[in-house]
Structure 1
Amino acid sequence: MKTTSPLPLALDRIGLAATLLLPLFLTHVRIMSEIMMDVLAVGLLARSACGLGWGWARLPWVRIALLWWGWQSFCSIPGVGIGGGNAFGQALLAVRFPLMAAALQNWTLRDARPRQWMAALLVGCCLYISLQILVQAVFGYNLFGIPRFPDGTLTGPYAHPRAAAPLSRLLLPSLMLGCAWAAKRAGRGSFFAMSGLAIGAVAIMVLAGQRIPMALTLLGIALCAFLYRPMRPAAWAAAAALPVLVLLARIFSPGSFRHLVLLAEHQLAHFGQSPYGAIFTRALVMARAHPITGMGYDAFRHGCRDPRFFHGLSWFNSLPDGGGAAVCVQHAHNHYLQALTNSGLPGLVLFIAMVVAWLAALWPREGAHRAWRIGLFAAIFVHEWPIASSSDLLNLPLGGWAFLLLGVGLAEAASVRRTPPSLYADKPSSKND
C-alpha cells in the first residue's frame, strides 16, 4: 500500500526490512529470526490500524488458522492442559506464526520488487547451504572449519546435521526457478539443463544423508514434474540417476550412505520397536486418554514420562511398555500427532483444515511465475506430508522457514489473482515461466 504519512511509511520500511532479513537470520542467528517474526506479526496489526485495513483477517486460511490457534490456546489453559502457565503463554504466542505469513501476503510482499528480492534471497540461501555441504563432502570441513559429524554425516554450515531439512524445502522453488529459466533460454538444450539441475538437487540431498528430507525432496520433485510438464523428462533422468548417486555416496560419504540406506532399512523393517515407532505409540496412547482437549501446548514433552502411558497398542507391533521413559523427547515428531496430543481430535481436524486451506490458497494456477509458485506449493505440501518425521511445527528454524515459504507463496498467489487475466492472454508461454 502506497502512503506518504510518516507512521505508515515507517512501518512499511520496518516491515520490509524485517521481511528481507528473515531468511538470512533463519540461516544463521536464530534469536534474530525470532525478533523479525515478532516485528512482522505486531507490525501487521499496527499497519492494519493505520490504513491497511483488516480484510486479510477474512481470508479463509486466516480464519481457520485463528480457530486452530484459539482451540489450542483453550486446551492449554492451566487445569485443562498439563503444562501450566508457561505452556499457556507459549500457546498464545503461537499466533505470531500465521500472523507473520499473513503479513508477507497482505503487506510487505504485495509489490513485485520485494517479491523479486525475496526470491533472490531464498535461492541464495539454498545455494549457500548446498555449497557448505559440497565443501564439507570434498574437504571434510565446511567453510567455518567444522568437520563432519562424528557419525560421518555432513552438517552443511552447522555444527550438527540439521541442514537437510530446510534445504529440502528451499530446493524445490529454487529448482523450479532454474527449470523455468532453462525452458525459456536453453532452447533445445533445455532437457539437459533441467536434468543437470534436477540431478544436482538430488545429489546434494544424497550427500546430506538425512532420510526424511531426502524422501520429501523426491516427493516434491515428483509433484513439481506432475504440475510442470517441461520438467517431466528431467525428473525421470534424476530418478534414473538416484541409484548411481547413492552408490557414489557409499564411496565419498559413507556416513550419508549408512543413514540413507542401512539405518532406513533397519528402522522400516522394525518400525514398531524403533524410536519413531515408540514415539508414535506413546502419542496415540496419550491422545486416547485425552481425546477432546488433548493435554495442551507441548503435550508430548510434559506428559510423555507419565507411567500411565507406559504401554503399547494391541493392534500395533510396539514394545510392551511403549518404550518407557527412554522414548521421551520434546515433541511427537509429526505435526498431526502433535496437533492430536496438544488439542485432541477437534484440534487435529482444525489443523488438517488449516493445511488444506493453505494448499488451496497456494494452488499454482496459470499466470506469471507459475514454475516458482509450483515450487513454493510443493515446499509446503512436503512440509505437511503426514507420513513423515518432522520437527515441532512452531520451532525455529524449520518452522520459521515453513511459514516464510508459506507467506511468500501466498503473496505470489495473491499477485496473480490481482492481475487481470487479459495481461496474460497473449502470452501462451506464461504457463511455463
Structure 2
Amino acid sequence: MLINRPLGFPPAAHLFLYLLPALLLFSRAIADVTVVLVAIAFLIFSFKKCDWDWVKQPWFLAILLFNAYLLVVNLPLSSDSSESLKYVLTFIRWPLFAVALSYWVFSDAKKRQRFLISLLLTMLLIIADTLRQYFFDVDWFGIERFSDTRLTGPFRSPIPGTMLLRLWFIALFAAFFIPLFKSSVLRQLTFLMVAMGSGFVFTFLTGERMALILFSSGCVIVFIAMLLEYKQYKQSLLLMLAMLGITLMITLFLSPEMFERSIVSIGSKLSTFAESDYGSVFKAAWQVWRDNWWLGSGLHTYQTVCEQQQLLIDSGLMCTHPHNLYLQLGAETGVIGLGLFLFMLYLLYKHVLGPLLAERQWIKAALSFSVLTVSFWPLTGGISVLSNWVAALVWLGVAWVLAISSVDSSEPDRRLTDVNR
C-alpha cells in the first residue's frame, strides 16, 4: 500500500533533517530521546489531522500484533517482569519512529535531499576521525585505539564499522537525489562505485569482520543490480570494478595486520566456529531458548538468565547478548514471538521491494534490500540490534526504504536519468 497523503511538516522543523544523523549517532541517550520525541510529535500531528492511514500498512499491523503478544503473553510470564516491563512498554517507539520519518519527515524529494546531505557530511566526519586514529593512534577528540587491530573512531568503543554499516546503503541513494550526482548516469554510477569502495576500505580498517562481510555482500548485490539496470554501461562498470579491485588490493597489501584481522581470521574463525567465542555464545542462547521454548524467558532477560545459569562461566565470556538477533528473540520471546517478528519482516520486505521490483527499479531495490538485510541479518556483532542505540539506526533504515518505496512515479528522481542513455 503506497502512502500518498503526507502530514504537514512545520517549516522551522526542517533543521531537524540536517541534525538527524548526528542526533542518532553520537549519544545513546540523545538517540533514544530523539526517537521518543519524533514518535510523540507524529502521534499528535496524526490526531490533529485525523489522519491514521499509516496504521493500515500490513507490516505495521503485524508489529502491533507482535507488541500485543509481548504485552499480554510474554510479559506476565517473564522470568524478570520488572526488567521486561520497560522494554515491552517502550518497544512500540521504534516502528512509530520509522513510520513518522517515512510518512512525515521524508515525504518529498527536497526533504530527502537535505537529509542525505547531512548524512554524507556526518559520515565523512566519522570516517576522517577514524582514519586519523588509524594513522596516528588517537582521534581528534583524544580517543585512543581500542587495540592494534581495532578502531573506535569517535564512539569510544570498537564499533565504527558496525554503526556506519546501517548507513552506507542509505547514503548511496544520494545518486538519486543529489543534483551533483544525478545529472548523468556515468556520474551516478561512478559515485556508487567510489562510495562502495570507500566503504570497504573504511570497514576493513576498523577490524570489524562481520560488518565487513555484510557490507561486501550488500555491495555485490548492488553491483549486480547496476549491471541489470544499465546494460549499456557494462564495459564502464567492469572497468570501474577492475580499478576498484586494484585499489583494494593495494590497501590490503599495505595493511598486513589489518588483513590478518579482517580477512584471514574469518576463515580460521569459521573453521573452528563451534569452539570459538561466537560458538559458545550461540550455545548459551540456544540453552536459554530450549528452557523457554514456546513463550521465551521475557523480553530483555537473556543476560539475566544466562548469568543465573552460569552458561558462559567456563568460557570466560560475559552474558551480554547472543550476537544473533533471532536466537535472542527466540530465547526471550519464544517460538511464537519469533514467528510473529519474522512475519512482520516478510510483510516489510514485501511492502518495500514490491513496488520497486514491479517497475524494475533494480538499483533502488538492491539498495533497499541491503539497508534492511544488513540490519536484520541473523549474525550481528558489536551491539545488540535490540539495543536502543543501534535500533535507532536500524529503524532509520526502515523509515528510509519505506519512503523510497512510496515515492510517486511522477517525481523526477524516481529513476536515474540521462538524456543520452
- TM category (shorter chain) comes to 0.7 to 0.9
**Alignment partners' CA distance in 1, 2:305 and 2:40:** 32
Within the alignment, does 1:407 sit opposite 2:399 as a pair? yes
Q: What is the aligned partner in structure 1 of residue 134 from structure 2?
A: 137
Judge conservation of contact 1:101–1:406 (CA < 8 Å) in 2. yes
**Alignment partners' CA distance in 2, 1:372 and 1:126:** 21
**Alignment partners' CA distance in 1, 2:304 and 2:403:** 37
Q: What is the aligned partner in structure 1 of residue 263 from structure 2?
A: 261
User: Secondary structure at the residue paired with 2:140?
Assistant: coil
Within the alignment, does 1:429 sit opposite 2:414 as a pair? no
Judge conservation of contact 1:76–1:82 (CA < 8 Å) in 2. no
Q: What is the aligned partner in structure 2 of residue 149 from structure 1?
A: 146
User: Secondary structure at the residue paired with 1:53?
Assistant: coil
Q: 1:35 to 1:428 in 2, by over 3 A?
A: closer
Within the alignment, does 1:287 sit opposite 2:279 as a pair? no
Q: 1:373 to 1:192 in 2, by over 3 A?
A: closer
Q: Superposed, which structure 2 residues align to 1:21-420 within 5 Å? A: 21-78=19-76, 80-178=77-175, 184-185=183-184, 187=186, 195-229=193-227, 230=230, 233=238, 234-235=240-241, 238=244, 242-250=248-256, 254=257, 256-307=258-309, 310=311, 324=314, 326-363=316-353, 364-365=356-357, 371=363, 374-389=366-381, 391-416=383-408, 419-420=409-410
- Worse-matched range after superposition: 331-340 or 363-372: 363-372
- Worse-matched range after superposition: 336-345 or 175-184: 175-184
Counterpart of 2:144, as a letter, is: P
User: Secondary structure at the residue paired with 2:64?
Assistant: helix
**Alignment partners' CA distance in 2, 1:84 and 1:44:** 30
**Alignment partners' CA distance in 2, 1:14 and 1:291:** 50
RMSD: 3.5
* Structure 1 residues 142-184: Cα deviation after superposition (integer angstroms, max 9, x where no partner): 2223222234422222322111112122222324535996675
Q: What is the aligned partner in structure 2 of residue 313 from structure 1?
A: none
**Alignment partners' CA distance in 2, 1:39 and 1:94:** 14
- Worse-matched range after superposition: 333-342 or 19-28: 19-28
Q: 1:351 to 1:186 in 2, by over 3 A?
A: closer
Counterpart of 1:297, as a letter, is: L
- Worse-matched range after superposition: 351-360 or 276-285: 351-360
**Alignment partners' CA distance in 1, 2:13 and 2:120:** 21
**Alignment partners' CA distance in 2, 1:2 and 1:282:** 47
* Structure 1 residues 89-118: Cα deviation after superposition (integer angstroms, max 9, x where no partner): 211101100100011112222233222111
TM-score, normalised to structure 1's length? Answer: 0.82
Shift of 1:374: 4.3
Q: 1:323 to 1:127 in 2, by over 3 A?
A: same
* Structure 1 residues 274-316: Cα deviation after superposition (integer angstroms, max 9, x where no partner): 1211111111122112111101111311211233x84xxxxxx
> What fraction of aligned residue pairs are identical, expressed as a percent?
22
* Structure 1 residues 314-372: Cα deviation after superposition (integer angstroms, max 9, x where no partner): xxxxxxxx664844422221111111111111111111122222222222347799856
What are structure 1's unaligned runs of at least 5 residues? Answer: 311-321
TM-score, normalised to structure 2's length? Answer: 0.84
Q: What is the aligned partner in structure 2 of residue 317 from structure 1?
A: none
Q: What is the aligned partner in structure 2 of residue 318 from structure 1?
A: none
- Worse-matched range after superposition: 57-66 or 260-269: 260-269
Shift of 1:49: 1.0
User: Secondary structure at the residue paired with 1:45?
Assistant: helix
- Worse-matched range after superposition: 219-228 or 383-392: 383-392
**Alignment partners' CA distance in 1, 2:388 and 2:420:** 34
Judge conservation of contact 1:106–1:411 (CA < 8 Å) in 2. yes
Counterpart of 2:254, as a letter, is: L
- Worse-matched range after superposition: 81-90 or 194-203: 194-203
Counterpart of 2:65, as a letter, is: L
How many aligned positions are there?
Answer: 406
**Alignment partners' CA distance in 2, 1:27 and 1:153:** 19
- Worse-matched range after superposition: 204-213 or 127-136: 127-136
**Alignment partners' CA distance in 1, 2:226 and 2:273:** 35
* Structure 1 residues 65-89: Cα deviation after superposition (integer angstroms, max 9, x where no partner): 11122223334424x0112223122
User: Secondary structure at the residue paired with 1:386?
Assistant: coil
